[in-house]
């Protein structure tokens, strides 16, 4: 394991993980809102926000799937040392990390079962930019409407149609975080 | 139905304060220390670790002190504490064959490799109260004898060599974990063993006893009972190899059960298995009997309706924290429930009275 | 995971440190060098597994408390520790020893810390084994009349 893999975790894990968890909770509860997520300095190309999210949510019982360029030894070692999470193919992952193109096809990910809809994947989608503009969102946790710079529309409408099954998404860019749970209605452009 | 009720805060605070005073007891008596509990009430500590499902003698001693010696309350405290710990991983399965044994007895073979080692047992005491213990200051010393450095082989291994007992072949399927996923039935044997090893000693003991008295009889012999220490190894990802992360005391019981054969299995001995934290011999023996009784289906035996054979019954009721939680909640305010019951009974009585009066 | 021969020695001292009495380790190594924490000391649990029938499929027996710590010395040597119990000082100290064992200080640490710990652990183990051996039953058969 390279020395770089051993650095870049939370300096004060208890408080920083609690803050990050609060941000993750807020983001998912209020789709379209933007949150700053700092404290982690993972190796490139993983963003600080995605790194902090993994430090907070992943552990030895949550298989992680790395898609595309993030699937490199530096990122793997960093996740292993700091979270202990095992790596898994897409169809067994609790968390999947990658850019939008690398995560495709999305049908690979778990969407839960009717009696356990929670047994589904959470995607951590790395985006070049993230802003509260663009596609219009409606649904639980949104007063009237919200806007978010989603990479596309069709995939999220298809996912919404599976409700209560489906995957949930976090979007990360630099140290910014937003989320789109399966319950959100993504309006057509 | 639950309705929030306010107004008990002062009473609750004062009850807690009185509880603390009662816990301390007569201040002219020396306060109990945790090392005293850990060292001198070791079997209580062991039970709290086994059923609390967390191996940490200091924490178990603290829980016993806080619970004023109520072991189920102490187990409750440990179960609550363990949920606050991050799970760093799972160990490699411990090798009980390599155990440094304090005690090892077999009821099936008199002469066997490694011999019969009695260890610190109550078995041959006369169960007469020893009033010498009421006086302080005794410092007993155990005799020593030259020990063999070799590990003690499992008795079932000797039977297995001759094919007289069902095999227990090594496999590496990751086991289900009922502390992470809710119990789903039917349960496989690893899940059943996890539930029973943290189950209530009294409940498991009574079920095991019921099999001996004929409710799901399994004709068990204690092939081997061993108590001792084993190292716990875990793979460390940042190192790329496994290290020992500690050492635990375990009790292991393997029963050898008479088995005439069934529609699916040849006549041979079968096994029941018990493994528990600490020196917890009664629990480990009981566990192995209940484990064997629950195996009726895989061995092609008949279901006789015995409670010990009924997986749903055993696994749903063996946990004393679940049991005491549901049992004791009925003493908490149910004012609204009861009010509706009261109105129902009054109405039914009024109706019955009317019918009676009309008939007269 | 497969072990390389050079890992065996490290496995040995890390295992010894995991089980060492924290107060004893502190007495043998009272002063700690400056370190940079890579992963601050953290108390957690490890699920201990057994095997069905002692040899078969794994099952979850129950958890144990474990504290871990990773740090780096000024010279760059990285030390890891996983120790039994909830003592963060124990974990930090064990990680320091692990790091020092990868430096030219190794011989001094071996003599000052690891050797005494190893001897004491061995004495504890053999004393217990000797007490167990004293309770081993020596059967003898009574001579029966018809065997004459």
Give the number of domains in chain A. Answer: 1
With CA atoms as reference, the chain A residue closest to B241 would be: A1
Q: Is B149 on the interface with A (CB under 8 A)?
A: no
Mutation site for C-interface testing, chosen from B59, B85, B99 by largest number of C Cβ within 10 Å? B85
Predicted pLDDT at A111: 97
C window 6-35, beta carbon within 8 A of B: 7, 10-11, 14-15, 18-19
Are B237 and A84 in contact (CB < 8 Å)? Answer: yes
pLDDT of residue B74 exceeding 60, the answer is yes
Mutation site for C-interface testing, chosen from A6, A17, A61, A81 by largest number of C Cβ within 10 Å? A6
Look up residue B118 and give its two tokens.
């009695």
Q: Which residues contact A109 (CB under 8 A, 6 or more apart)?
A: A90, A91, A93, A96, A120, A121, A123, A167
Are C72 and A11 in contact (CB < 8 Å)? Answer: no
- Do residues B153 and B297 share a domain? yes
Chain C residues whose C-beta is within 8 A of a chain A C-beta are 37-40, 42, 70, 72, 76, 78
Q: Which residues contact C136 (CB under 8 A, 6 or more apart)?
A: B115, B116, B117, B118, B145
- Do residues B245 and B185 share a domain? yes
Q: Is A9 on the interface with C (CB under 8 A)?
A: yes
Q: Which residues contact C148 (CB under 8 A, 6 or more apart)?
A: none
Distance from C-alpha of B292 to C-alpha of B279, rounded to nearest angstrom: 21
Predicted pLDDT at B137: 79
Distance from C-alpha of C50 to C-alpha of B92, rounded to nearest angstrom: 8
- Do residues B215 and B161 share a domain? yes
Alpha helices for A5-136 (secondary structure H): 13-29, 48-57, 73-83, 100-103
Are C40 and A12 in contact (CB < 8 Å)? Answer: yes
Are B246 and C62 in contact (CB < 8 Å)? Answer: no
User: Which of B87, B237, B240 is the closest to A61 by Cβ?
Assistant: B87
- From the list B167, B344, B190, B151, the residue with the least C-alpha distance to B271 is B167
- Do residues B61 and B199 share a domain? no
Give the number of domains in chain B. Answer: 3
- Do residues B205 and B105 share a domain? yes
Residues of B in contact with C137 (CB under 8 A): 115-118
Whole-prediction pTM: 0.91
- Do residues B153 and B285 share a domain? yes
Question: Is residue A188, in this structure, part of any structural domain at all?
Answer: no
Q: What number of other Cβ atoms are within 10 A of residue C68's Cβ?
A: 26
Q: What number of other Cβ atoms are within 10 A of residue A161's Cβ?
A: 10
Distance from C-alpha of B241 to C-alpha of C4, rounded to nearest angstrom: 8
Chain C: nearest CA to B37, how far in angstroms? 17
Instruction: Say what the ipTM of the complex is.
Output: 0.93
With CA atoms as reference, the chain C residue closest to A7 would be: C38
CATH of the domain at A136: 3.40.50.11310
Are C53 and B271 in contact (CB < 8 Å)? Answer: yes
- Do residues B158 and B273 share a domain? yes
| Overall residue count recorded for chain C in this entry | 148
pLDDT band at C148; cut points 50, 70, 90: very low
- From the list A184, A178, A180, the residue with the least C-alpha distance to A33 is A178
Chain A: nearest CA to B88, how far in angstroms? 7
With CA atoms as reference, the chain B residue closest to C47 would be: B90
Predicted pLDDT at A103: 97
Distance from C-alpha of A54 to C-alpha of A10, rounded to nearest angstrom: 11
Look up residue C38 and give its two tokens.
């890579």
- From the list B54, B82, B87, the residue with the least C-alpha distance to B277 is B54
- Do residues B24 and B113 share a domain? no
Query: In this structure, are residues C123 and C131 in contact, taking their beta carbons and an 8 Å threshold?
Result: no
Summarize chain B as % helix, strand, coil (round to 5).
Answer: 40, 15, 40
pLDDT of residue C147 exceeding 70, the answer is no
Question: Is residue A164, in this structure, part of any structural domain at all?
Answer: yes
With CA atoms as reference, the chain B residue closest to A6 would be: B238
- Do residues B101 and B221 share a domain? yes
DSSP annotation of C41 reads E
User: Which of C39, C72, C78 is the closest to A9 by Cβ?
Assistant: C39
Are A1 and B238 in contact (CB < 8 Å)? Answer: yes
- Do residues B74 and B200 share a domain? no
Host domain of residue B71: 9-82
pLDDT of residue B201 exceeding 90, the answer is yes
Show the 3-state SS of A106-174: HHHCCEEECCEEEEECEEEEECCCCCCCCEEEECCCCCCCEEECCCCCHHHHHHHHCCCCCCEEEEEEC
Q: Is A105 on the interface with C (CB under 8 A)?
A: no
Q: Which chains neighbour A (Cβ–Cβ under 8 Å, 3 or more pairs)?
A: B, C
pLDDT band at B333; cut points 50, 70, 90: confident
Question: What SS3 state is found at B192?
Answer: helix
Listed range (B67-76, B202-211, C134-143) with the worst mean pLDDT? C134-143
Q: Is B236 on the interface with A (CB under 8 A)?
A: no
Q: Is A6 on the interface with B (CB under 8 A)?
A: yes
Query: In this structure, are residues B216 and B308 in contact, taking their beta carbons and an 8 Å threshold?
Result: yes
Residues of B in contact with C128 (CB under 8 A): 100, 102, 229
Are A60 and B88 in contact (CB < 8 Å)? Answer: yes
CA angle (A109, A114, A115) in 5-degree steps: 115
For residue B217, what are the CA distances in angstroms to B62, B199, B213, B258, C13? 40, 21, 7, 10, 49
With CA atoms as reference, the chain A residue closest to B177 would be: A61
Residues of A in contact with B175 (CB under 8 A): none
Query: In this structure, are residues A145 and A138 in contact, taking their beta carbons and an 8 Å threshold?
Result: yes
Are B87 and A59 in contact (CB < 8 Å)? Answer: yes
**Mean pLDDT across the stretch C44-66?**
97
- From the list B259, B192, B260, the residue with the least C-alpha distance to B221 is B259
Q: In Å, how far from its chain's centre is CA A15?
A: 21
Q: How high is the mean pLDDT of chain B?
A: 93
Query: In this structure, are residues B255 and B292 in contact, taking their beta carbons and an 8 Å threshold?
Result: yes
Residues of C in contact with B189 (CB under 8 A): 52, 57, 59
Are A61 and B238 in contact (CB < 8 Å)? Answer: no
pLDDT band at A161; cut points 50, 70, 90: very high
Chain A: nearest CA to B86, how far in angstroms? 9
**Mean pLDDT across the stretch B134-143?**
87
Taking only Cα atoms into account, the Rg of chain C, rounded to an integer number of angstroms, comes to 21
Q: Which residues contact A87 (CB under 8 A, 6 or more apart)?
A: A63, A64, A65, A66, A76, A79
Are C48 and B58 in contact (CB < 8 Å)? Answer: no
Question: Is residue B88, in this structure, part of any structural domain at all?
Answer: no
Q: What is the pLDDT of residues B284-318, one digit of tens each?
A: 999 999 999 999 998 888 899 999 999 999 999 99
C window 40-59, beta carbon within 8 A of B: 42-59
Predicted pLDDT at C2: 55
Q: Which residues are A173's β-sheet partners?
A: A176
With the C-alpha atoms ordered C55, C60, C66, C72, is the resulting torsion angle positive or negative? Answer: positive
- Do residues B264 and B189 share a domain? yes
Are C53 and B273 in contact (CB < 8 Å)? Answer: yes
Host domain of residue A104: 3-182
Chain A: nearest CA to C71, how far in angstroms? 9
Chain C: nearest CA to B271, how far in angstroms? 7
Query: In this structure, are residues B250 and B96 in contact, taking their beta carbons and an 8 Å threshold?
Result: yes
Q: Which chains neighbour C (Cβ–Cβ under 8 Å, 3 or more pairs)?
A: A, B
DSSP annotation of B178 reads T
The b/e string for B277-312 (b: 16+ C-beta within 10 A; e otherwise) is bbbbbbbbbbbbbbbbbbbbeebebeeeebbbbbbe
pLDDT of residue B266 exceeding 80, the answer is no
Q: Is B323 on the interface with C (CB under 8 A)?
A: no
Q: What number of other Cβ atoms are within 10 A of residue B11's Cβ?
A: 9
| Overall residue count recorded for chain B in this entry | 360
With CA atoms as reference, the chain A residue closest to C76 would be: A3
DSSP string, C83-120: EESS-HHHHHHHHHHHHHTTSTTHHHHIIIIIHHHHHH
Q: What is the pLDDT of residues A41-84, one digit of tens each?
A: 999 999 999 999 999 999 988 999 999 999 999 999 999 999 99
**Mean pLDDT across the stretch B106-130?**
92
Mutation site for A-interface testing, chosen from B238, B239, B241 by largest number of A Cβ within 10 Å? B238
The single residue listed with the structure tokens 């005494």 is C116
Percent of chain B surpassing pLDDT 90: 74
Look up residue C89 and give its two tokens.
């000082």
- From the list B56, B47, B150, B143, the residue with the least C-alpha distance to B98 is B150
Beta-sheet pairing, A116-120 with A111-113 = antiparallel
Host domain of residue C13: 5-147
Q: In Å, how far from its chain's centre is CA A115?
A: 24
With CA atoms as reference, the chain A residue closest to B174 would be: A61
Give the number of domains in chain C. Answer: 1
Q: What is the pLDDT of residues A92-148, one digit of tens each?
A: 999 999 999 999 999 999 999 999 999 999 999 999 999 999 999 999 999 999 999
- Do residues B68 and B169 share a domain? no
Residues of A in contact with C72 (CB under 8 A): 3, 6
Q: What is the pLDDT of residues B48-66, one digit of tens each?
A: 999 999 999 999 999 999 9
């Amino acid at each position: 394991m390279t020395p770089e893999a051993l650095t870049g975790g939370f300096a004060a894990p208890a408080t920083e993980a609690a803050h990050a968890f609060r941000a993750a909770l807020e983001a998912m509860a209020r789709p379209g809102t933007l949150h700053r997520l700092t404290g982690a300095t993972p190796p490139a190309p993983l963003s600080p926000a995605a790194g902090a999210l993994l430090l907070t949510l992943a552990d030895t019982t949550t298989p992680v799937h790395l898609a595309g360029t993030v699937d490199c030894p530096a990122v793997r070692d960093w996740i292993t040392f700091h979270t202990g999470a095992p790596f898994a193919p897409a169809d067994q992952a609790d968390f999947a990390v990658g850019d939008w193109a690398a995560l495709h096809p999305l049908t690979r990910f778990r969407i839960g079962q009717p009696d356990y809809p929670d047994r589904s994947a959470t995607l951590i989608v790395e985006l070049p930019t993230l802003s509260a503009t663009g596609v219009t969102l409606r649904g639980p946790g949104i007063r009237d409407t919200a806007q978010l710079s989603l990479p596309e529309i069709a995939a999220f409408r298809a996912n919404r149609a599976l409700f209560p099954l489906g995957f949930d998404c976090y979007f990360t860019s630099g140290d910014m975080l937003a989320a789109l749970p399966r319950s959100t209605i993504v309006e057509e452009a | 139905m639950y309705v929030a009720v306010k107004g008990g805060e002062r009473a609750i605070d004062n009850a807690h304060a009185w509880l603390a005073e009662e816990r301390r007891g007569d201040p002219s008596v020396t306060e109990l220390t945790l090392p005293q509990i850990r060292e001198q009430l070791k079997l209580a500590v062991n039970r709290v670790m086994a059923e609390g499902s967390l191996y940490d003698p200091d924490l178990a001693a603290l829980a016993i002190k806080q619970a004023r010696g109520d072991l189920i309350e102490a187990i409750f405290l440990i179960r609550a504490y363990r949920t606050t710990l991050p799970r760093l991983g799972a160990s490699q399965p411990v090798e009980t064959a390599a155990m440094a044994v304090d005690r090892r007895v077999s009821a099936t073979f008199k002469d066997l490799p490694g011999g019969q080692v009695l260890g610190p047992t109550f078995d041959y005491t006369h169960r007469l109260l020893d009033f010498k213990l009421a006086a302080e200051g005794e410092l007993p010393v155990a005799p020593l004898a030259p020990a063999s450095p070799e590990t003690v082989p499992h008795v079932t291994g000797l039977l297995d060599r001759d094919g007289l007992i069902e095999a227990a072949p090594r496999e590496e399927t990751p086991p289900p974990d009922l502390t992470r996923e809710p119990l789903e039935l039917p349960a496989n044997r690893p899940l059943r063993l996890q539930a029973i090893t943290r189950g209530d000693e009294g409940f498991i003991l009574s079920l095991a006893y019921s099999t001996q008295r004929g409710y799901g009889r399994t004709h068990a012999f204690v092939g081997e009972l061993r108590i001792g220490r084993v190292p716990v190894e875990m793979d460390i990802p940042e190192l790329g190899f496994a290290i020992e992360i500690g050492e635990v005391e375990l009790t292991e019981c393997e029963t050898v059960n008479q088995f005439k054969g069934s529609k699916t299995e040849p006549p041979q001995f079968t096994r029941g298995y018990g493994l528990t934290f600490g020196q917890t011999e009664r629990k480990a023996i009981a566990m192995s009997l209940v484990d064997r009784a629950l195996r009726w289906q895989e061995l092609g035996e008949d279901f006789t309706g015995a409670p010990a054979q009924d997986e749903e019954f055993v696994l749903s009721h063996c946990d004393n924290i679940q049991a005491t939680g549901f049992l004791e909640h009925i003493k908490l305010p149910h004012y609204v429930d009861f009010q509706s019951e009261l109105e129902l009974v009054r109405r039914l009585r009024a109706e019955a009275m009317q019918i009676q009066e009309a008939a007269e | 995971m497969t072990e390389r021969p050079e890992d065996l020695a490290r496995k040995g001292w890390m295992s010894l440190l995991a089980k060492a009495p924290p107060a004893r380790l502190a007495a043998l190594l009272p002063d700690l060098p400056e370190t940079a924490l890579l992963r601050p000391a953290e108390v957690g649990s490890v699920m201990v597994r057994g095997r069905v029938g002692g040899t078969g499929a794994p099952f979850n027996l129950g958890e144990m408390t474990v504290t871990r710590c990773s740090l780096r010395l000024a010279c760059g040597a990285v030390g890891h520790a996983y120790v039994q119990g909830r003592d963060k000082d124990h974990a930090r100290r064990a990680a320091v020893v692990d790091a020092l064992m990868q430096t030219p200080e190794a011989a001094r640490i071996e003599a000052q810390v690891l050797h005494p710990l190893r001897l004491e652990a061995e004495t504890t183990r053999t004393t217990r084994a000797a007490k167990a051996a004293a309770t081993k039953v020596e059967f003898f058969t009574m001579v029966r009349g018809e065997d004459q």
